[in-house]
Structures are given as C-alpha cells and as structure tokens.
Amino acid sequence: MSVNKVMVIGAGQMGSGIAQVFAQAGFEVKLNDIADESLNKGYARIEKLLSRNVEKERMTEQEKESALKQISTTTKLEDASDCDLVIEAVVENMDVKTKVFKQLDDITPKHAILATNTSSLPITDIAAVTNRPSQVIGMHFMNPVPVMKLVEIIRAIQTSDETYQLIEETTKKLNKNPVEVNDYPGFVSNRVLMPMINEAIYTVYEGVAEPEAVDEVMKLGMNHPMGPLQLADFIGLDTCLYIMEILHEGFGDSKYRPCPLLRKYVSAGWLGKKSGRGFYVYE
C-alpha cells in the first residue's frame, strides 16, 4: 500500500502546519475542522507561510500555487471515505479524540491508517476504541511544524510493523526525520521537555528569578533557541498543564507535580501567545 490521499483533522496551529508539509510534498490533502472560522484561519496561515517561502526564494510562485492546489477544506468527516491516511490534530481531550477515531473507523476504507498528533494521550487507549488497532499510530509533529525536522513516531502496543514502516517512509517523504518510540506517558519528547518547563515555572513561583532572567539563563547559557517560559507560552500553558497531569498520573511520581503557578495561570485564562497573555504579554 502507498499513501496518496490524506485528511488532517483540526486546522489549528498544528493541523494547518501538518497539512502544509503534506501538500508541499505532493500529497492530496483534505483539511477538516468542525468550525468554518478555524478552517479559514488555518488555510490563511498556510497561504501566508508559503508566500513567505516565495519571498525568501525558498520556493517559486508556481510551487506555492501547486502546493495550495493540493489542499481542499471540509467540515465533513465523511470526506475521509477515500483517504489512505488520516492524521488527527484536534484539541488534547481524550473524549473528543476517541469520538473522532470511532467515527473515522466507520468512514475510512479498511486499509487506511489512523494517526494521532497527540502530545501525551495514550495511543494504546485510542487504538483500542477502533476495530483496526494494528493500523493506529502516533505521528507527533513538533511546533512550528514547517520548521521542525522531528516527527516522533509512537507505536501503540497493538501497532503492526507494516503500519510503522509505512508511516516512517511517509515521514521521510515530508523531508522530516522519524524517531521511533514506544507508548508511555509523554513519550520521549514531552517526558524530557515538560519537567524542564515545569521546573522553570517553579523558579518563578519560588521567587528565584523573573521570567526574563530564567529565559536568558537557558538561552545564553545552554544555547536553547527559546527560553523555557517563552516556549511554554508558544506551546500553550493549557497544553503544558495537561501534559504534566498525564505524567503525574501516569507515573504516580510526585516529581511530575504541576507547579501551582501554572495551574493559576491556566485558571485565569492566561494560556500564552494564543490568548495574548502568559508569562509574557502579546500584542
């Protein structure tokens, strides 16, 4: 089997980036969202980033137009009925994701692979709600998708070798680097990254330093491209809190307890860049 037609579900910051990289690699892509407004925003974001590539002479106007032609938008999940691969990138909520996977299991052809871009939810549990668990896999893109080279490919306990190999090959066609990991809380990426971000928040909570100082230490001292608090704002503080809760619950170890300041910010609706305020204020 080979992958030709792809549906990306959720046209937010991750889904629109995933649709863009598939279209640039020549795949036919259907971008789906429940909300027309999100679809329009997602498509506009893709157009803007492709135009930026033309400005920077990384692609021609013609290449931009042909990438855009590969993408159609739809609010109907039923349009996945002829897709070989579906990548789900909706909100990080188990109930929403399992509902989408159950529907996809009924709609998509028998051969289709169902992938999730979840940051932290157990792929094994998502696979278990379908009648094709061996064809369910984690395809974890990094933010911002068009720039970051990694795709963490997460095998659920049920994922077959055939499914893994096809997703690995497909990732390479996107000019990304696949890394194989197994399904445990936070996988590798967020098990290592999130405790660092959480600890950075503790240093602010305990008055060790101001957010700017914490970020300067990590940028200038450790050569990180963004400080941990700037990165937390970029990812979304709600997503960071959610991932810490999954680590805390999944391992039952107090070393993963989310910082109370992170909880407070999320309760206040200070979710980072997307809400205009997090550790920093955004225009």
For the question of residue 249 being annotated catalytic, the response is no
**Of the candidates 166, 133, 167, 135, the residue with the CA atom closest to the CA atom of residue 151:** 167
Cis status, amide bond into 260, omega within 30 of 0: no
- To ligand NAD, the closest distance from the beta carbon of 239 in angstroms equals 5
Q: Considering only residues 178 through 207, tell me which ones interact with ligand CAA, judged by CB under 6 A.
A: 189-190, 193
Evaluate whether 115 touches 156 at the Cβ level (below 8 Å): no
For the question of residue 119 being annotated catalytic, the response is yes
For the question of residue 248 being annotated catalytic, the response is no
Which residue is nearest to ligand NAD, using beta carbons?
12
**Of the candidates 117, 144, 137, 176, the residue with the CA atom closest to the CA atom of residue 17:** 144
Q: Considering only residues 59 through 118, tell me which ones interact with ligand CAA, judged by CB under 6 A.
A: none
Please count the CA atoms within 13 angstroms of the CA of 266 that sit on its side-chain side: 18
> What letter would DSSP give residue 77?
G
Evaluate whether 19 touches 8 at the Cβ level (below 8 Å): yes
Interface with ligand NAD includes 44 (CB under 6 A)? no
From the list ligand CAA, ligand NAD, none, partner contacted by residue 38 (C-beta under 5 to 8 A by kind)? ligand NAD
Interface with ligand CAA includes 142 (CB under 6 A)? yes
- To ligand CAA, the closest distance from the beta carbon of 161 in angstroms equals 25
For the question of residue 81 being annotated catalytic, the response is no
Chain residues in the site for ligand CAA (CB under 6 A): 49, 52, 56, 119, 142-144, 146-148, 189-190, 193, 225-226, 231, 235, 239
